Structure 1
Amino acid sequence: MSRILIAEDEERISKFMEKGLRSAGHAASVVGDGITALDYATSGEFDLLILDVGLPRLDGFTVLGLLRESKVPLPVIMVTARTSVQDTVAGLNAGADDYLAKPFHVEELLARIRIRLRDPRPDDADHVLKCGELVLDPHSRIARVGAQEVDLSTREFALAETFIRHPGQVLSREQLLNSVWGYDYSGASNVVDVYVLYLRKKLGADRFVTVRGTGYRLAAV
């Protein structure tokens, strides 16, 4: 049974989510402000956080930023009534694992949660991943190039991990979106290209090879 924290100040919505989660077999706890959400989220007692953007005391973006600055690995699904592309990108860039616009069906929320709570592969829990000089430790979320440790955001680490689990394999933008962002993305977004650029700057430009018209592959350099 997964333990899920709901940070939502609108009682009608929090009850809707709590009921849906409990019916699906999850244990759900609800808090109504950002300071309490931050306190609970750093307790180590939860497996996932559903985080509303418009919380009192501390807004959702601030809570998320503080969690990521503290290297708290808790998966975060942000929910908000804001539907602009700018808000979505801001949430993802801040380190959210997914972003869900209100109103939404409980089945969609549960599907997003299932993606984020997938059990790690048994042989990966305490095993570093290597490709050439690139080394990732999924357990500690540490990235290294040779002997040098590199600071990656949550999203950057997830994208790098997707590549290193498929070394040499050409991955389409759609595959990367589904794996890292957790949902089928429609529209002419360049979010994958932007994050590949981030990884090239931090981990080495030659590692991430563009396959024209298809996507990218990780090279062992």
Structure 2
Amino acid sequence: MRILLVEDDDSLAVGLVKGLGKEGFTVDHVASGKMALAALRAEPPDMVVLDLGLPDMDGLDVLSRLREDGLRTPVLVLTARDQLDDRIAGLDSGADDYLAKPFDMQELAARLRVFERRLSTASATSVIRIGDVELDTAAHSVKVTGQVVEIPRREYMLLKTLMESSGKVLTREALETRLYSWGEEVASNALEVHIHHLRKKLPDKMIKTVRGIGYTVPSA
């Protein structure tokens, strides 16, 4: 899942990008409300982590404008404001959840995984099954014929993206967008390398190449 992090504290933002990356999320970061709105309107992410204390405008204004634009992207408000009235104002403005600073990274990741499950085709459960392959988005684990298979983070994210869109062909560009943050160096054959390694761990023909377009996995 791709997250837009809106946070003006650079040191906190660096920690969040790194920590959420380890949890399997792809994170893009902006430091102002105007940049957030531009990013949201250009290419909406799967979810947003939004600080309220931004330098150019209040985070609640960003949230209100996002909703006025008709974007239903899940938003978790992240702020030092912990008064009941502030929490109510955030929820009334369209926030889906609220987490006060200081917070634990594991709690933030757990709350974002709730958003993830809502967006998943397997919304009633954290487990996606296709044939002999079982992917658990809560446990970040993959099983093949009942046996746990160790898969690096990027390969896990790639497999998860494909399985969540089972039966659909995903282009190379769409997959790279899910795997890499803005400005990240990406080798020209990086995606093909990940696919190659995944195929060695999965049943034959689990991942099919659609020549000239991209990749797909069978319908669940």
Q: TM-score range by the shorter chain?
A: 0.5 to 0.7
The corresponding residue for 1:91 is: 90
What root-mean-square deviation, in Å, do the aligned CA atoms of Structure 1 and Structure 2 show? 1.7
1:60-209 alignment runs, 5 A limit: 60-120=59-119, 122=121
Residue 89 of structure 1: CA displacement?
0.4
User: Relative to structure 1, is the Cα distance of residues 86 and 25 closer, same or farther in structure 2, using a 3 angstrom cutoff?
Assistant: same
Give the C-alpha shift of residue 12 in structure 1. 1.5
Aligned to 1:36: 35
What is the CA deviation profile of residues 97-153 of structure 1, one whole-angstrom value per residue up to 9, with x for unaligned ones?
Answer: 0010000010000011000111557599xxxxxxxxxxxxxxxxxxxxxxxxxxxxx
Q: Is the 8 A contact 1:77 1:96 kept in 2?
A: yes
Structure 1 runs not aligned, ≥5 long: 125-221
Q: In structure 2, what is the equivalent of residue 11 of structure 1?
A: 10
SS of structure 2 residue aligned to 1:49: strand
User: Any conservation in 1 of the 2:44–2:73 contact (CA below 8 Å)?
Assistant: no
Q: Following superposition, which runs of at least 4 residues in structure 1 exceed 3 angstroms of deviation?
A: 119-124
1:55-104: CA deviation from partner (whole Å, max 9, x where unpaired): 11122000000011111011100010011000000000100000100000
> CA deviation digits over 1:181-209, x for unaligned, max 9?
xxxxxxxxxxxxxxxxxxxxxxxxxxxxx
Q: Which has the higher contact order (CA 8 A, sep 6+)?
A: 2
SS in 2 for 1:82: coil
Q: Give the Cα–Cα distance (whole angstroms) in 2 for the partners of residues 33 and 123 of structure 1.
A: 34
Aligned residues: 123
Distance 1:74 1:104, change over 3 A: same
**Alpha-carbon distance between aligned partners in 2 of 1:116 and 1:73, rounded to the nearest angstrom:** 12
Check the 8 A contact 1:78/1:100 in 2, yes or no.
yes
Q: Where does structure 2 lack aligned partners over 5 or more consecutive residues?
A: 124-220
Deviation at 1:43, TM superposition (A): 2.3
Give the match for residue 145 of structure 2.
none
